[in-house]
Structure formats: C-alpha cells, structure tokens
Amino acid sequence: MGATGHMGYNELSYLFIFLPLTVLLYSISPKKFRKYVLTAVSWVYFWLCSKYLIVYLLGDTVFIYLMGLWIGKVGDSIPENYEVLIRKAEKSGEKSPEISALKRKKAFHKTLMLVSIIILFGILLYLKYTGFFMSIANRFIVKGGGVPLVAPTLLVPIGLSFYTLEAVGYILEVYWKRIPAEHDFFGIALLIGFFPQTMEGPIARYGDTVRQFTGEQKLFERNGQDMAYAVMRIFWGMFKKIVIADRLNTVVANLFDKAELPHGVMIIVAAVCYTVQLYMEFSGMMDVVIGSARLVGIKLPENFRQPFFSQTASEFWRRWHITLGAWLKDYVFYPVAASRFSKNLGKKVRKKSGRHAAKLATSALALTPVWLFNGLWHGPQMNYIFYGIYYLVLLLLEQVIDPARDAFYAKTGINRKGRGPTLFRILRTWVIIFTGELFFRANGLNSGVHMFLNLFHGFGISRLWDGSLLNLGINESDWLAVVLGTVVVFIYDLLTERGFSIRDWMSKRKTPVRWACYYALIFAVIIFGAYGTGYQAVDLIYAGF
C-alpha cells in the first residue's frame, strides 16, 4: 500500500503555499543556517506526505551517515597499494602478521559495505515486494496442497525506491574511495531527503548535491533573472502536466482499464497516448522539481534529454530517466562487466568465436541484471519485469546486427547520417518505445499480451475520424488542446535538440518581451489546464514506483 498523506508537486498547496514559504524562509536565513532550514523543510514535507513513515527516512539517514563514516575510516587505513603488497607477499610466500592483518581489514571493509547494501535493499524489498514474492510462493504452495501465505499489509513511504538508490550509490562511492565519507550529517540528510526529489527523483549523486548543501561548492547563483527562469520552468512543467498529461489520463484509463479491451487501431491510440502522457507528466514534474531546487540555490541533474529524437533503443535510455540509467550503468553494469568471471568469459568466447561474439557474451552477462533490476525497480508486477526483458533483448539485438548494418551502409554507399535514414531510425525507435509502454501500462502481463495481439484484429483505421475518439472521455476542444500542446512541446524539444537555447534567447530579449513570454506561459496553464468541474486531480505516475 502507498503512504498516507498527499502533497504532490502539481498540487496548489505545494506550488502556492509550501514552496513560496520555503523560498522565503531560505532567503531570510543566514547562509550558514540554510542547510538546517532545508533539512527541516524537507522533513516537514516528508511528514506531510507520509506522516509517521518518516521514521524510515530518519532511520536510513542515521544508518547511512554512520556506516559511511565507518566504511570511510576503515578504508582510509588500507593503503592505496594494497593489491601490490598482497601480490608481492603471495609471490614471495611471505606470511607476515602485517599482511594477514591487512587481509582481515580488507575483508572487514567489504563486509561493512555488503551489510549496508543488504540492509538498505532489504528494507525496500520487505516494504515494497513482500506481497509480490509471497504471491509467487503461493502458486507452488497451493499446487503442493499447502495453505497459502497471507501477505501483511504494509505502508510504503514516498520516495523509498529513489532514496534507496541514492544511499546505496553513496555507500559504494565511499567504499571505492571515489569520495570521502561525509562528516556533515545534514549533507547526508539532504542527499536522500531533499524535498523536491522526494517523490520522483532525479536520483542524485553525492557530487551532484551534497557539496552544494554543505557550502563547499556553489553551482547556481540566485539572481533575479535566474529566479524568474526557475519559476518559468515550474510553469513549463505544469503546462505539460495539466494541459496535456491530465487530459490524456482520461483517455488512457478508458482504453486500458475497461473490462473489454480495445482492438485494432485503438491499441495504437492507447500506446501512443500513454507514452505521451508519461513523458509529459514525468518530464514536466522534473521541470517543477529542478525549478523548485533552483529557487533555493541548488542545481539538480537533468533527467531527460529529448528522448523522442533517439535513433536506437539504447540511445533512448541514455536520454530517458537519465539518472536511473546512469545509476544502473555505474553500480550494476560496470561492476559485472569488470568482474573476473566476465573477463574470463570474454577470453574463452573470443578464442572460440571471435571478438564480436565475445563482446556480445559479456554484454549479455552485464546487461541482464541491469534490465531485470530496471524492470523490478518500477514495481512488483510481471509486466514491469517483462518490460525490462523486452529492452534487454532489443539492446542485445542491436549488437548482433551491428556488423550487418555497417556492411549494408558500406556496400550501398547510403549516407547513414542523411535525413532519410535518420528519420527512418527515429520512427523505428518510436515503434519500439510505444510497444514497450503498451506492456508497461497494461494491467498485468496477460492484459498486455492480449492488447498486443488485439492489434492485429479488426484494425479499423476509420475509427480515427469517425467519432470513436470522442467516446474516450474527452471532447473536441480537449483533443485540440492535447494536440496543440504536444506540438508546442515538440517544437521546444526540436529547438533544444538543434542547440538552440530558449533560456539564452530569453535572456537577450528586452524586459517587456521577456515578461510577455512569461505571462503567455502562465495564462496558457491557467486557461488551458485540465481542472475544475468534471476533472479530478491526477496522482503523479512515477511517485508510485
């Protein structure tokens, strides 16, 4: 079950009460006290959203802080040339007490890291996945004639999946000696509990935020123009959310959640509408989050980079939910790829089948846990796991066909960077994305399979213009707002993709022009937003993951 309480970033209580009061309190506080102010405000926000479940955040904060110091202290006592010393001792057959003590210390260092990660992930697994794993176990228990297990009712604090990854990343960075253990408790408190990141990320690293919180590093100056930009970014995110995503929520619910599933062309409508809804909401809320952080002088990492201009599935995941992809790459993919087992596998396959086969084998070994983790991280459902496997297969297929693709372009002389081939690859990637999101949104894997198969029955393309789209919960004016809003976002992303900075352009305009643009955006949100009679506030999608 989810946590009690609610104050999403799209709520009026957040935008017009909590955030302005926070900015005011931060602004009037002396600089040396601001990290305390941000910590207190962040904990208040967590309390408003999850009430007493804040005990998990507070407990994890103390645990991470103390374990980080312990791991750092033990690591500092292990010499940098540890491996060289051990190899020399093994070659010479030396069995000195100093070498034995050093080995024990290294083993203890590793044990501290493993225990920390096991406890952090153990809390996540227990609270979020107990029911899922028990349902799987019950299938075997019932078949064996046993009494099924009864899953406990558990409340999950908001942001648990996000701040657990931030905490694990910090522990690993300290263990690998990439960063020093943080001695400022409030730096750790804000690393995992900073209020704009609480619900949907982005998944920040120590270097992204802590040095800003503790005053060691300043990446963003709060002047009038930058404050205005931060506010406009918040409104830009709200434009995506309430003008486009919230309207499409009604359409998506009517297509995915009814007992009688759609078929033919309406499956395409369902997949496209959900993909657009998810992008508009998630990227829109990242705009609100990053804008909120900038209002209190903190620069958070970007989480999207025009993903729908990707030409391959792998490129799409370098542009979509960037911080999750980077976390998986650094803390799952690279450790597995650099493992002794992976290197030995690569050598064996290279001898038997060549370099390309070896690369494919080691990639499969490293990518499998990445994409199983990715799927399961989104939630305890089989369609999420399938979603991960879907992209695993696609990314491996990309590597399989690489030689054939290169040979094709070389033989035909076609310019692979030309407009035609580029457009083809982008459209092909859209098909991949829409198909994946169809399974991702479906109410279970079986429902996803049925919807995919229904695509090939009674296609009925005429339903796109015969009025069928008006039976999905929104009228002509709503569809017009969705289409025009999506076109506006597409143009913005296209300009950004081509290197045109809207912010730089705005900064060079005269004050009346800038404020005219600001007011145009604000009134667009006010006038065209989906709210009022007939509409219900739509919960944040990624806050549920």
The residues near 221 (Cβ < 8 Å, ≥ 6 apart) are 297
Nearest Cα to 88, choosing from 99, 79, 97?
Answer: 99
Residues 88 and 36 in one domain: yes
Q: Which of 427, 462, 482 is the last residue of a domain?
A: 427
> Does residue 94 belong to any structural domain of this protein?
yes
What are the φ/ψ torsions at residue 474 (nearest 5 degrees)?
-130, 155
DSSP string over 374-399: HHHHT-S-HHHHHHHHHHHHHHHHHH
Q: Which of 219, 240, 275 is the last residue of a domain?
A: 219
Q: What is the pLDDT of residue 2?
A: 42
Nearest Cα to 449, choosing from 508, 387, 402?
Answer: 387
> Does residue 4 belong to any structural domain of this protein?
no
Give the CA count within 13 Å in the CB-facing half-sphere of 240.
Answer: 23
Residues 190 and 94 in one domain: yes
- Single pTM value for the model: 0.91
> Does residue 433 belong to any structural domain of this protein?
no
Name the one residue in this structure whose structure tokens are 């009061």: 21
- Per residue in 294-337, pLDDT (tens digit) is 999 899 999 999 999 999 999 999 999 999 999 999 999 999 99
Residues 330 and 451 in one domain: no
Residues 115 and 257 in one domain: no
The residues near 464 (Cβ < 8 Å, ≥ 6 apart) are 265, 269
- Helices 355-377 and 382-412: crossing angle in degrees, nearest 10, is 150
Both tokens of residue 166? 């931030």
The total number of structural domains in the chain stands at 3
> Does residue 7 belong to any structural domain of this protein?
no
Segments forming the whole domain that contains residue 506: 221-304+442-545
> Does residue 318 belong to any structural domain of this protein?
no
Whole-angstrom distance, CA of residue 63 vs CA of residue 182: 13
Residues 117 and 214 in one domain: yes
Residues 294 and 169 in one domain: no
Residues 421 and 477 in one domain: no
Whole-angstrom distance, CA of residue 408 vs CA of residue 229: 47
51-to-6, 45, 157, 368 alpha-carbon distances in Å = 10, 9, 9, 37
Residues 69 and 186 in one domain: yes
> Does residue 399 belong to any structural domain of this protein?
yes
Give the CA count within 13 Å in the CB-facing half-sphere of 457.
Answer: 8
Residues 71 and 157 in one domain: yes
Q: What is the pLDDT of residue 218?
A: 57
- Per residue in 146-173, pLDDT (tens digit) is 777 777 778 888 889 999 999 999 999 9
Residue 48 CA from chain centroid, whole number? 23
> Does residue 381 belong to any structural domain of this protein?
yes
Both tokens of residue 502? 């809207």
Q: What is the pLDDT of residue 4?
A: 41
Whole-angstrom distance, CA of residue 253 vs CA of residue 507: 41
The residues near 511 (Cβ < 8 Å, ≥ 6 apart) are none
Provide the 8-state DSSP code for 444: S
Residue 110 CA from chain centroid, whole number? 28
Q: Are 296 and 38 within 8 A, CB to CB?
A: yes
Q: What is the pLDDT of residue 532?
A: 60
* H helix or E strand, kind and range, residue 506: helix 502-507
Name the one residue in this structure whose structure tokens are 């205005």: 228
Residues 206 and 101 in one domain: yes
Residues 419 and 345 in one domain: yes
Nearest Cα to 222, choosing from 299, 303, 288?
Answer: 299
Q: Which of 165, 188, 219 is the last residue of a domain?
A: 219
**Is the backbone of residue 349 left (phi > 0), alpha (psi -120 to 50) or beta?**
alpha
Q: Dihedral, CA atoms, 444, 447, 449, 453, nearest 10 degrees?
A: -170
> Does residue 385 belong to any structural domain of this protein?
yes
Residues 203 and 258 in one domain: no
Q: Which runs of E-coded beta strand occur in 360-469?
A: none
Both tokens of residue 444? 């279970």
Low-confidence ranges of the chain (pLDDT < 70): 1-6, 90, 93-94, 216-222, 531-537, 543-545
